[in-house]
Amino acid sequence: MAIRIRRILVAIRDLHHPPRAELRKAAQIATAAQAAVELFHVVDVPHRVNIGEKTLVAGAQAHVQARIATAQQRLLAFSRLPEFRKLTVTCHANDDYPLHEAIIRRAQKRRADLLIAATRTRSLTGRWLLKNTDWELIRQCPCPLLLVKSQRPYSKPVVLACVDPFHAHSKPADLDERLLAGGEAMARLLKGSLHAFHAYLPLATYAPMPMAATPIGPSIEMEKAHARLQAGELDRMASASGIPVSARHLRVGVIASELCDTAKKARANIVVMGAVSRSTLGRLFVGSTAENVLDELTCDVLVLKPKRFQSKIGAREYRHRFVPGG
């Protein structure tokens, strides 16, 4: 089923500087989809504050309300940027906790069709490093999640959908269809093009020897048959989505590195990936190591969940408690 965008929630973390790329892309998608936008910010307040005297409790509560009011004013200023001219934009700030749960609760309350969040933390080597909040949004956000990593605007963007036709990583069978449908909808909305990516490992394994690596296992004929099978399944899925042969990327190797290399060579603006909630982050993404893929990709990432995915985040908002006494 294709993505149908009517309501967009934009989670803004930095109120001191307008997150231009995040806002610009939200406005571009909203304009194309004729969608309403809400700018949302969570005020960072400790989840439990001990106050030495009862007389200070009211002051602490007033301080939080003042911060919320200030955040609301900053969001209103963002909403008046030229990008949002002629769009319906609302603003909301609260002191819910923790951050990822607050964002997901707001998305659920607003029945958002798309959540947009920016990743801004870099290491000393220039790589993107996602924070814990980003990982939790990936794991638990029920609606499509667009992680903005690149400053590049969407100009006839290349949308690269990552599929796994053989479900080698125990993902729901319908997820590939959702990835292709979601990628197609985003490409059509932004007047871009849809590409399909699949990577697989050869049947043979290699045993280390004193002077060389010696292949052990299937014959060359079996490897060729395996390659034909992989190519055939990718072609079948891509053809059903109207993806031309030139936009089909079949690679042999470790999925994380092959995907990053393909995204660079194809100049992808958005990589579409599926996520299922697993017990460990290492098994979060279907077909790859999540940390390597998301930290190394320099383009934006659209994360989609299986059809029957249900978030474990409750609807009840957290309310900060100011406790008198040490």
Helices (H), 80-215: 99-109, 132-140, 175-189
pLDDT, residue 284, reads: 42
**Which residue ranges form the domains of the chain, and what is each CATH number?**
1-142+311-326 (3.40.50.12370), 143-309 (3.40.50.12370)
Q: pLDDT in tens for each of the 326 residues of the chain?
A: 467 899 999 999 989 888 899 999 999 999 999 999 999 999 977 655 555 555 555 677 788 889 999 999 999 999 999 999 999 999 999 998 889 999 999 999 999 999 999 986 555 444 445 678 888 898 899 999 999 999 999 999 999 999 988 765 556 668 899 999 999 999 999 999 999 999 998 887 545 555 555 556 677 888 899 899 999 999 999 999 999 999 999 999 988 889 999 999 999 999 999 876 554 444 444 434 455 688 788 999 999 988 888 888 887 777 655 555 54
pLDDT, residue 116, reads: 98
pLDDT, residue 311, reads: 85
Residues facing 50 on adjacent strands? 323
137, 100 contact by CB (below 8 A): yes
What three-state secondary structure class fits 48? Answer: strand
Helices (H), the chain: 20-33, 55-79, 99-109, 132-140, 175-189, 220-240, 255-265, 290-296
Burial class (CB in 10 A: 0-12, 13-18, 19+), 227: middle
Gap between the Cα atoms of 137 and 150, Å rounded: 18
> What DSSP element (H or E) covers 299?
none
pLDDT, residue 60, reads: 73
pLDDT, residue 287, reads: 37
Which among 137, 119, 136, 117 has a CA at the least distance from the CA of 128?
119
For 84, which DSSP code? G
